[in-house]
């Protein structure tokens, strides 16, 4: 194992997919004097247990750009760095139960086409042709994305790490960061293996980002959810179809019910975003462990019962399969569900690349964005939707983060209607005339925490 250098231009804290991608893209930009510090082994946080789905769909222009870039990077990465990995580009069908959902899909299709993606909105016959095992009751149509697929998260991270190392960047594993301090114009990063001085620090600590943030005097607005997915045993009909067709089924997302269903070898992987969800490590009675590397929460299948029943009605062959394994691991959420990528508010020469709910899908694009921000001071795409400075101090309150995180998780696939006001975490800031305006019949929206009348 390589020893800790005494200096570097950039130090990245966190060895998940986003940290590794940031290191890789910095090295590609010519900044090879960069060091990544990981407290355990690479991928030991949320990356190792991620399902590995790689969609391009988003209702956000910047997120779609990041995800599109990720798919393009992952297609060529194995050859570029000489590290073989499993990346299955299967395409996906995103199902619509309502006319409003079809409208959302048309909007996403327009954004995708403008970015050069071959996204299309299809009818029931085309759904059935692409996915012969499906029942189309209650459906209006679907969004078909030929670039969607799944990748092995550990192989992806190791490929990015190998590419970065080959260009001269360094990765120090089993090297927990214990503190940071500012000396003149430098950061001194304190670790279990000694100290390292650098110009710039990047917090890529995933669900431990708040812990790292506190070392900088920064309250990172985030919380941690448990996300479960179920792996099923082999299904003979699916195995026969795959062998005959020479391919896997498209990834299926029933967004109005709130789950994804993916072919996993010749079995299935079902991942719901349930409304009766659970937050973890909340408050003094449930502290985050000092180390949760490569660990999972206990199974909690009662929460998933209704989603499983719906999936079996939608794809009846799922009902013939035995349950193989349940994965229930921690994933971080910011109060609006978007990651934090950009300058650390109020802290010089420090950046955040953390709190990724969909880190595998966004990791490639995130590394590109971080490298641009660090080396050029600006990004190619407008990244305000992910900029840490979009939140002010009220948003770091733990009860607010938990309320918003649970709301977003339970409505992960919900349509984002213009001017719709989500109810959780409200009444954070009230003006002196709030009660008088309310008595006049005002209906409020939250703007940076302030309750402001938008109509009467």
CATH value at residue 316: 3.30.9.10
Same domain, 317 and 449: no
Range 171-175 average pLDDT: 97
Assess whether 213 and 286 both reside in one domain.
no
Spell out a b/e string for 326-350, using b for 16 or more CB atoms within 10 Å of the CB, else e. bbbbbbbbbbbbbbbbbbbbebebb
Assess whether 347 and 385 both reside in one domain.
yes
Is 378 a member of any domain? Answer: yes
Strand-strand pairing, 177-183 and 186-191: antiparallel
DSSP SS3 for 456 = coil
- Domain assignment present for 107: no
Query: Is residue 332 a contact partner of residue 224, using CB atoms and an 8 Å limit?
Result: yes
Q: Among 333, 359, 375, where does a domain finish?
A: 333
Q: Is residue 310 part of a domain?
A: yes
CA distance 359 to 263: 20
Both 303 and 351 in one domain: the answer is no
State whether 445 and 347 are in the same domain: no
- Within this chain, do residues 53 and 169 fall inside the same structural domain, yes or no? yes
| pLDDT tens, position by position, 409-430 | 999 999 988 888 889 999 999 9
Give CA–CA dist 400/205, Å, rounded. 21
40: containing domain = 1-88+149-222+334-391
Q: Which of 283, 300, 333 is the last residue of a domain?
A: 333
CATH number of the domain bearing residue 77: 3.50.50.60
Give the end of a domain, one of 391, 417, 434. Answer: 391
Q: Is the pLDDT of residue 284 over 90?
A: no
Based on the fold, state whether residues 60 and 205 are members of the same structural domain: yes
- Is residue 101 situated within a structural domain? no
Whether the pLDDT of residue 1 is over 70: the answer is: no
322 and 438 share one domain? no
Q: Please state, as a whole number, how many other Cβ atoms lie within 10 Å of the Cβ of residue 219.
A: 17
Nearest to 257 by CA among 108, 149, 138: 138
Per-residue model confidence as pLDDT tens digits over 239-271: 999 999 999 999 999 999 999 999 999 999 999
Tally of domains within the chain:
3
SS3 446: strand
Question: Residues in the chain, how many?
Answer: 456
In a domain, 9, yes or no: yes
Residue reference for tokens 């967004």: 255
Domain identity same for 328 and 443: no
Residue 323 domain-assigned (yes or no): yes
Question: Is 449 within the bounds of a domain?
Answer: yes
> Is 84 exposed, middle or buried, given 0-12, 13-18 or 19+ CB atoms closer than 10 A?
exposed
Do 328 and 341 lie in one domain? The reply is no
Strand partners, 196: 189
d(C-alpha 169, C-alpha 180), whole Å: 21
In a shared domain, residues 278 and 183: no
The pair phi, psi for residue 27, each rounded to 5°, is -65, -40
The verdict on 454 and 361 lying in the same domain is no
Q: Is residue 123 part of a domain?
A: no
pLDDT digits (tens, 9 = 90+) for 21-77: 999 999 999 999 999 999 999 999 999 999 999 999 888 889 999 999 999 999 999
User: From CA 240, how far away is CA 266, in angstroms rounded?
Assistant: 9
What pTM did the predictor assign?
Answer: 0.94
- Give the three-state DSSP class for 330: strand
């Amino acid at each position: 194992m390589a020893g800790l250098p005494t200096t570097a231009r950039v130090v990245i804290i966190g060895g998940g997919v986003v940290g590794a991608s940031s290191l890789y893209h910095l090295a590609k930009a010519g900044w090879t004097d960069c060091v990544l510090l990981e407290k355990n082994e690479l991928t030991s946080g949320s990356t190792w247990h991620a399902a590995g789905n790689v969609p391009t769909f988003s209702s956000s222009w910047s997120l779609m750009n990041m995800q599109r870039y990720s798919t393009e990077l992952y297609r060529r990465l194995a050859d570029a760095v000489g590290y073989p990995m499993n990346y299955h580009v299967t395409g996906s069908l995103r199902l619509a139960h309502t006319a409003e959902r079809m409208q959302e899909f048309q909007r996403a299709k327009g954004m995708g086409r403008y970015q050069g993606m071959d996204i299309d909105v299809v009818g029931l016959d085309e759904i059935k042709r692409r996915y012969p095992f499906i029942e189309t009751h209650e459906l209006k149509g679907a969004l078909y994305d030929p670039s969607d697929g799944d990748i092995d998260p550990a192989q992806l991270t190791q490929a990015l790490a190998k590419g970065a190392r080959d260009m001269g960047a360094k990765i120090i594993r089993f090297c927990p960061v214990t503190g940071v301090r500012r000396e003149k114009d430098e950061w001194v990063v304190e670790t279990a293996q000694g100290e390292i001085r650098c110009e710039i620090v990047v917090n890529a600590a995933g669900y431990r980002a708040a812990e790292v943030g506190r070392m900088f005097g920064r309250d990172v607005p985030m919380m941690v959810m448990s996300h479960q997915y179920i792996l099923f045993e082999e299904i003979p009909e699916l195995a026969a179809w795959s062998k005959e067709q020479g391919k896997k089924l498209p990834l299926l997302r029933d967004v109005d019910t709130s789950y994804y269903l993916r072919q996993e070898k010749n079995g299935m992987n079902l991942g719901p975003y349930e409304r009766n969800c659970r937050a973890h490590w909340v408050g003094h009675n449930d502290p985050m462990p000092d180390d949760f590397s490569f660990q999972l929460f206990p199974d909690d299948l009662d929460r998933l019962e209704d989603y499983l029943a719906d999936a079996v009605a939608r794809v009846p062959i799922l009902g013939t399969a035995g349950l193989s394994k349940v994965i229930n691991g921690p994933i971080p959420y910011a109060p609006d569900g978007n990651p934090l990528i950009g300058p650390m508010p109020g802290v010089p020469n420090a950046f955040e690349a953390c709190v990724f709910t969909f880190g595998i899908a966004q990791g490639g694009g995130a590394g590109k964005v971080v490298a641009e921000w660090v080396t050029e001071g600006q990004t190619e795409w407008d990244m305000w939707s992910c900029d840490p400075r979009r939140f002010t101090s009220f948003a770091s309150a733990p009860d607010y983060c938990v309320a918003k995180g649970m709301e977003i998780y339970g409505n992960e696939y919900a349509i984002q209607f213009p001017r719709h006001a989500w109810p959780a975490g409200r009444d954070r800031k009230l003006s002196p005339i709030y009660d008088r305006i309310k008595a006049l019949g005002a209906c409020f929206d939250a703007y940076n925490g302030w309750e402001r009348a938008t109509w009467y």
